[in-house]
Chain A
Amino acid sequence: MMADQIKVAYWPGCVSRGFTPELHGSMAIVAEKLGIELVELDRANCCGAGVIAEHNQELADTLNARTFALAQQTGLSMMNICSTCQGAQSECQQRLDADSAYRAHINEVLSGQGLSYEKGEEGGWTNKNFLWLLVEDYGLDKLREQVVRPLSGLRVGPFYGCYIVRPKERLGYGEHPDRDIYLEQVIEALGGQVVEYDGARKCCGFPVITMNRETSLRQAGTHVGDAIDAGADCLVTPCPLCHLNLDMQQPEAAKVVNRDLGLAVLHLPQLVGLALGAEPKELGMSKHIASTGWVEDRLTAGATA
Chain B
Amino acid sequence: MAEYTIKVRRFQPESGEGPYWEEFGVDLDPSLSVLDGLLQAKDRDDGSLAVRCSCRAAICGSCGMKINGQSGLGCKTQIGEAQELADKQASATGRGGEGNSIVIEPMGNMPVIKDLVTDMESTHWTKIRRVTPWLLPHGEPPEREYIVEPESMIDITQSMACIQCGACVSSCLSMEADPGFIGPAALAKAYRFVGDPRDAETHERLHDLADDPHGIYDCTHCFSCVDACPKGVAPMDQIMRLRRKAGEEGIEDPNSGHDHEIAFVKIIEKKGTLDESLLLQESFAPGVKGKLKPSKRAIREMLGSIPTAIRGIKTGKMRSLSKLIPGVHHKLPDQDDVKAIYAHAEEHSEEFNLYIKGEEGELVDDNVEKGIERSTDPDTAEAK
Of residues 319 through 364 on chain B, the ones whose CB sits less than 8 Å from some CB of chain A are 323, 332-334, 337-338, 340-342, 344-346, 350, 352, 354, 357-360, 363
Most buried by B among A18, A95, A214: A18
Task: Say if the beta carbon of A24 comes within 8 Å of chain B.
Answer: no
Residue of B nearest to A219 (CB): B177
CA A9 to CA B92, docked complex, whole Å? 30
Assess whether B264 is in contact with A49, with CB atoms less than 8 Å apart.
Answer: yes
- Contact yes or no, B220 A222, CB < 8 A: no
Contact of A51 among B92, B224, B265 (CB under 8 A): B265
Query: Could you list 19 further interchain pairs (A-B, Cβ under 8 angstroms) beyond the known A162-B221, A166-B227?
Result: A14-B274, A51-B260, A51-B261, A54-B243, A54-B244, A54-B261, A55-B261, A55-B264, A56-B346, A62-B345, A63-B341, A105-B350, A112-B340, A212-B213, A212-B218, A215-B178, A215-B181, A251-B307, A286-B315
With both chains docked as a complex, state the minimum distance between the C-beta of A283 and any C-beta of chain B, in angstroms.
13
Of B304, B317, B357, the contact of A95 (CB 8 Å cutoff): B357
Is there an interface contact between A98 and B88, defined as CB atoms closer than 8 Å?
A: no
Given the complex, which residues of A lie within 8 Å of B284, measured CB to CB? 210
Q: Are B317 and A99 in contact (CB under 8 A)?
A: no
Given contacts A98-B359, A215-B220, contact A222 B177 (CB under 8 A): yes
Chain A residue with Cβ nearest B268: A46
Whether A98 touches B317, Cβ cut-off 8 Å, given contacts A210-B284, A213-B304, A252-B307, is no
- Contact of B360 with A212 in the complex, beta carbons under 8 Å: no
What sequence of 0s and 1s flags, for each residue 232-261 of chain A, a beta carbon within 8 Å of any chain B beta carbon? 000000000000000011011000000000
Write 12 A-B pairs (CB below 8 A) sorted by A numbering. Answer: A17-B273, A51-B260, A54-B244, A55-B247, A56-B265, A62-B341, A113-B337, A167-B223, A167-B234, A181-B88, A252-B307, A252-B308
B358 and A98 contact, CB distance less than 8 A: yes
- Give every chain A residue within 8 A of B219 (Cβ-Cβ): 208
Known A-B contacts A162-B223, A211-B217, A252-B308; A59 and B346 likewise in contact (beta carbons under 8 Å): yes
How far does the alpha carbon of A216 sit from the alpha carbon of B220 in the complex, in Å?
Answer: 8
Interface range on chain B: under 10, 10 to 19, 20 to 34, or 35 or more? 35 or more
A251 contact set on B, CB distance < 8 A: 307-308, 311
Complex contact A202–B173 (CB within 8 A):
yes
- Given A19-B318, A61-B354, A181-B88, are A212 and B247 also a contact pair (CB < 8 Å)? no
The interface of chain A, by Cβ under 8 A from chain B, is 14-15, 17-22, 43, 45-46, 48-59, 61-63, 66, 87, 94-95, 97-100, 102, 105, 108-110, 112-113, 162-163, 166-168, 177-178, 181, 184-185, 188, 193-194, 196, 202-203, 205, 207-208, 210-216, 218-219, 222, 248-249, 251-252, 286-289
Q: Are B222 and A203 in contact (CB under 8 A)?
A: yes
Is there contact, CB below 8 Å, between B341 and A248? Answer: no
A166 vs B312: C-alpha distance in the bound complex, in angstroms? 31
Number of residue pairs across A and B with beta carbons under 8 Å? 212
Task: Specify which chain A residues have a CB less than 8 angstroms from the CB of B316 in the assembled complex.
Answer: 286-287
Q: A20 contacts which chain B residues (CB < 8 A)?
A: 317
Contact status of A52 and B221, CB under 8 A, knowing A102-B352, A252-B307: no
Please give, as numbers and ranges, the residues of chain A lying within 8 Å of B178 by CB-CB distance. Answer: 212, 214-215, 218
Contact yes or no, B221 A207, CB < 8 A: yes
User: Given the complex, which residues of B lie within 8 Å of A222, measured CB to CB?
Assistant: 177
Main secondary structure of the interface of A (DSSP, over half): helix
Docked complex: B83-122 residues within 8 A CB-CB of A: 88-89, 91-94
Given the known interface contacts A105-B352, A222-B177, the answer about A166 and B342 at a Cβ–Cβ threshold of 8 Å is no
**Are B224 and A18 within 8 A (Cβ)?**
no
**Residues of the B chain whose Cβ atoms lie less than 8 Å from the Cβ of A55:** 244, 247, 261-262, 264-265
- In the bound complex, how far is the Cα of B257 from the Cα of A192, in angstroms? 40
With CB as the reference atom, state the residue of chain B lying closest to A285.
B315
Contact B255 A211 (CB under 8 A): yes
**Interface contact A58-B352, CB-CB below 8 Å:** yes
Assuming A15-B276, A98-B359, A215-B177, is B268 touching A45 (CB within 8 A)? yes
Q: In the complex, what residues of A have CB within 8 A of residue B170's CB? A: none
Contact of B274 among A15, A184, A196, A203 (CB under 8 A): A15
Q: Name which residue of chain A comes closest to B272, CB basis.
A: A45
* Residues of chain A lying within 8 A (CB to CB) of residue B181: 215
Complex contacts, B304 vs chain A, CB 8 Å: 213, 252
CA gap between A216 and B342 in the complex, in Å: 31
Q: Is the CB of A248 within 8 A of B223?
A: no
A14 touches B273 (CB 8 A): yes
If A43-B334, A45-B332, A222-B177 touch, whether A50 touches B217 (CB-CB below 8 Å) is no
